[in-house]
A and B are shown apart, each in its own frame.
Chain A
């Protein structure tokens, strides 16, 4: 399936190794990625907070670019996914807003019609490709204990996004299980990472992160798995800042899901990517074959309710 790929500013320019992992796994699942001249999604907490009309117009321009190519958009960031999906919802529901936006886009030779879908990599992997196909590609299971953080902007607003249950998300845990990891439940699983207030009040933002990390630390995972570059940066770099401010001692390795998928598929070049991580992890060598893993799976304790 061919998509207009929307890595988003944060992934493209601050977390390129995560983008690389998506581009590495994509062909193995028949995903073809096309790059278009997108702008920032734009981000709700800055652009939309300043001017709702500006937000919806830029989002419409992005979607219109994909529509002109007859492609659906594949997002990689929860923030971009939420922003584009909400804009689309609003434009499809309110013809007067759509017409207003199209007046402006006409000058750029573009038109928002509402023909392209917005799909996040999480949805493509879980809903379209499916757990079985993913497990079938695993040659080197990753036997670590993890907690997952799906991210506010993949879960909410649930009535519009439909990525997973907003109160009890389990799909990312299942994706982790599919590649040999053991997902753990924790108290504040659906809580925000705090990124949304970093620009307006950083101490508050890190206090939210501290709460989240405290809940994570209680179940002692080996790593945190996310599906959003902003959440990634908040956890990985933010934990050090939180440590400085609050005297805590968090040092969890953080992964974007497709990095671990690429490792499990034993795709070449992953070591270079992992070198970019600020908190490193010694991944245990997985000696077991896939057959052993399948039989072993019977005894595993279900991790989600």
Chain B
């Protein structure tokens, strides 16, 4: 998988980004660019079209996936979706932010992204809310492993450990 997977994804990305004529409407509509110019969505497409490379700075993780760029692009290029694919590539390289990995681990543990505490269960009960049925943890883990996320989580855990050594 690994490299082939990446090469294919990059080829596809280049095709989706091709209609872009660098007008910059995406960047001027981006709420993150407004406060953190490190995320310039226009430049990330440019780098894919002209160099066939994902930008190396890792700024894709600054994208809030608010889809404003997607909404406004006059050429129908969805930078939000392109950045999502870039995040997938970056995660496979062990570059996912630690908090993102933590949320994924929580999902793997109890099927829910905000960890379910006994306090929150109690609060529900006090309000007269029903106990919500939960997915079988074995099923959750099976799907996690079979779809590649378990591997990505592990890879990123290792990257963090290596960096701290």
Contact = CB atoms under 8 A, between A and B. Distances in A.
Interface in B28-69: 31-32, 34-36, 61-68
Contacts, number: 188
A117 B2 CA distance: 36
Contacts of B62: 197, 200-201, 204
Given A40-B113, A166-B71, A52 B88 contact: yes
Contacts of A20: 127-129
Contacts of A35: 130, 132-133
Interface residues of A, number: 63
Contact of A39 (B65, B111, B147): B111
A48 B103 contact: no
B82 interface: no
B159 interface: no
Contacts of A190: 68
Interface string A23-61: 100000000000111111011111111111110011001
Nearest to A61: B143
A166 B66 CA distance: 12
Interface string A1-16: 0000001011011101
A253 interface: no
Interface string B107-139: 100011110110010011001111011111001
Interface stretch (A151-159, A258-266, A280-288, A293-301): A151-159
| Chain A to chain B: the 4 pairs with minimum beta-carbon distance, closest first | A196-B64, A192-B66, A156-B67, A207-B35
25 contacts: A12-B112, A13-B120, A20-B128, A37-B133, A37-B134, A40-B107, A46-B107, A47-B113, A50-B100, A50-B149, A51-B148, A104-B143, A108-B139, A167-B71, A192-B64, A196-B63, A196-B65, A197-B63, A201-B36, A204-B32, A204-B35, A208-B64, A211-B34, A211-B35, A272-B127
Interface of A: 7, 9-10, 12-14, 16-17, 19-20, 23, 35-40, 42-54, 57-58, 61, 104, 107-108, 152-153, 155-158, 166-167, 190-192, 194-197, 199-201, 204-205, 207-208, 210-212, 272-273
